Amino acid sequence: MAGKFTFNLLENEMELLIHPNVTFATKELNNRSNSSSDRGNVILTNLRIIFLPNPRNSPSRSYITSLWLVNTQNFVFKKPFFINDNLNGVTRASNDSQWQGDLEWKLTFHQSRGIDFAQAVREVGELNQHYNHNIPMGELAYLADKFQHRNYSEEVSYGAPSGGCFCFPCICLPIMF
């Protein structure tokens, strides 16, 4: 589709959870002047967190950000009163990446519950440690099914058998087609 970003999954990678309407702010720790903030969708896979910017909100930014879970540490989830949920972390550059150093990032969840995403990141991280970052496909299918009710986007389908799911922050109502 025109105006949308696409990305490729690796052979052993599966989409597990997606949240729309998220602000992704970054700051390079070794370069205080280089920071950015964009709005878009965030996707959790078994290997990384992927940020897809909304082309309408950030026409100058034409790239997708992948935060590899193996290189990410210091996850902190904050749920302030009357303010949007935040998930913070620090990702170290891979040896084969185009940039060097550490990237401090913050995801702000608008109109959705960030706690679901944070709990999913924690659970995927624990499984990655248990399986040495090679979670079996059967386990991934179980996670995708488990996280199905947490998806807040109608754009991505995770294989609902005969319908979809229209999710509100606290209630999930089935829709039959």
pLDDT above 70 (res 163):
no
Q: In this predicted structure, what is the pLDDT of residue 1?
A: 39
Measure the CA–CA gap between 54 and 173, rounded to whole angstroms: 27
Domain 15-176 fold is PH-domain like (2.30.29)
Q: How far, in Å, are 45, 100, 148 from residue 144 at the CA level?
A: 9, 33, 6
User: C-alpha angle 85/126/13, rounded to 5°?
Assistant: 90
Question: How crowded is the C-beta side of 90, counted as CA atoms within 13 Å?
Answer: 8
pLDDT above 60 (res 147):
yes
pLDDT above 60 (res 21):
yes
**33 or 119: whose pLDDT is higher?**
119
Q: How far, in Å, are 150, 155, 166, 176 from residue 163 at the CA level?
A: 15, 14, 10, 5
pLDDT digits (tens, 9 = 90+) for 78-121: 888 778 889 999 988 877 777 778 888 999 998 767 888 899 99
Measure the CA–CA gap between 145 and 160, rounded to whole angstroms: 9
For residue 176, list its beta bridge partners.
163
Q: In this predicted structure, what is the pLDDT of residue 95?
A: 77
pLDDT digits (tens, 9 = 90+) for 118-142: 999 999 999 999 998 889 988 888 8
Measure the CA–CA gap between 177 and 137, rounded to whole angstroms: 29
* Structural contact between residues 105 and 26, judged by C-beta atoms closer than 8 angstroms: yes
* Structural contact between residues 124 and 134, judged by C-beta atoms closer than 8 angstroms: no
Structure-token pair, residue 17:
């959870």
Measure the CA–CA gap between 172 and 109, rounded to whole angstroms: 18
Rounded average pLDDT over 142-148: 84
- DSSP-assigned letter for residue 49: E
Domain spans in the chain, listed from the N-terminal domain onward: 15-176
Per-residue pLDDT band at 157 (split at 50, 70, 90): very low
**160 or 44: whose pLDDT is higher?**
44
Question: How crowded is the C-beta side of 13, counted as CA atoms within 13 Å?
Answer: 17
Rounded average pLDDT over 24-48: 80
Per-residue pLDDT band at 164 (split at 50, 70, 90): very low
> Against a cut of 0.85, is the pTM above it?
no
